[in-house]
């Protein structure tokens, strides 16, 4: 507020209230960002369940070549858990369509055979960059039966828009 030094009553009144409001506003902005920060860090350290887990990572230049056969489909890894190796290549997802049971924990291991791709499953929070030479992992559970689309969301060339896969979640058998 250094250069509001006019003489009129308007100048003085404006200067006085402006100075007070400026302090309040800056205080509110700092507090707001601190709260956002605290909330954000809370989810980082204590509750990882808001979004899918995507911290799996394996660096292997030959990942695409050494991945299990593309037609392997779901591999059982636990009581109600499965893994699937998903290969992205110009311009398809393998395997697709992919059948999976409702309510099971599914871990996708995704890698690329060529350029960058984006592994997005519409209607979920699954969203992983698919990079050549790197395997990214993401785990999620499909609670509702139906068809989900795998949409490539990283530009990968002329047929990018058509790089769409399907996941079919089969309803759980009534017990």
Partner 1 sequence: MSLALGGSAALPTTHTLAAERHTMLAFLISGFSALLVGAAIGPLQALNYAGIDAYPYLRPVLQTYYQGLTIHGVLNGYIFTFFVTCGLLVYLPARELGLPPNMTLWRFCFGVMAAGTVLLLFAMFDNSSSVLWTFYPPLQGSAFFYLGLTLVALGSLLPLPVLLDLRARWKALRPGELTPLVTYMSLTTMLMWMLAAIGVAIELVVQLDPWALGLTRTVDPIIARTLFWLTGHPIVYFWLMPAYVSWYGLLPREAGGKLVSDPMARLTFALLLIFSLPVGSHHQFQDPGFSPIWRGILTALTLSVALPSLITAFTIGLSLEYAGRLRGGRGLFGWFTALPWRNPSVAAQVLAMLTFIFGGATGIVSGSWQLDNIVHNTTWIPGHFHLTVGTASAMTFMGAAFWMVPHLTGRRLLSRRLALAAAWLWFIGMSVFALGMLWSGLHGVPRRAWVSFLPHGVYQRIYGVAHLPLALAAIGGVILWLATIAFYVVFFGSLFSLEPGQ
Q: Which chain residues interact with partner 1 by CB under 8 A?
A: 1-4, 10, 14, 18, 21-22, 25-26, 29-30, 32-33, 36-37, 40-41, 43-45, 48, 50-52, 54-57, 59, 110, 114-116, 118, 120, 122-123, 125, 127-129, 131-137, 149, 151-158, 160-162, 164
Residue 23 CB, nearest distance to partner 1 (Å)?
10
Two structure tokens written together for 70: 């593309």
Q: In this complex, which beta carbon is closest to partner 1, that of residue 155 or of residue 170?
A: 155
Using an 8 Å Cβ cutoff, are 15 and 7 in contact?
no
Q: Do 104 and 123 contact (CB within 8 A), yes or no?
A: no
The minimum distance between CB 141 and partner 1, in angstroms, equals: 15
SS3 145: coil
User: Of 56 and 73, which has the nearer Cβ to partner 1?
Assistant: 56
Adjacent-strand bridge partners of 57: 136
What residues contact residue 13 under an 8 Å CB cut-off, 6+ apart? none
């Amino acid at each position: 507020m250094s250069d509001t030094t006019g003489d009129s009553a308007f100048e003085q009144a404006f200067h006085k209230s402006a100075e007070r409001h400026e302090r309040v506003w800056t205080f509110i902005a700092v507090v707001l960002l601190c709260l956002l920060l605290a909330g954000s860090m809370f989810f980082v350290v204590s509750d990882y369940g808001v979004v899918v887990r995507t911290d799996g990572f394996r660096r292997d230049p030959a990942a695409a070549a050494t991945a299990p056969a593309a037609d392997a489909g779901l591999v059982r890894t636990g009581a109600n858990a499965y893994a699937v190796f998903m290969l992205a290549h110009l311009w398809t997802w393998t395997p697709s369509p992919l059948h999976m049971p409702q309510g099971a924990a599914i871990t996708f291991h995704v890698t690329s055979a060529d350029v960058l791709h984006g592994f997005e499953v519409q209607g979920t929070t699954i969203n992983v960059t698919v990079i050549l030479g790197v395997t990214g992992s993401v785990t999620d559970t499909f609670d509702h039966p139906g068809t989900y689309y795998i949409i490539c969301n990283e530009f990968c060339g002329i047929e990018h828009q058509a790089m769409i896969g399907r996941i079919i979640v089969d309803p759980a058998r009534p017990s």
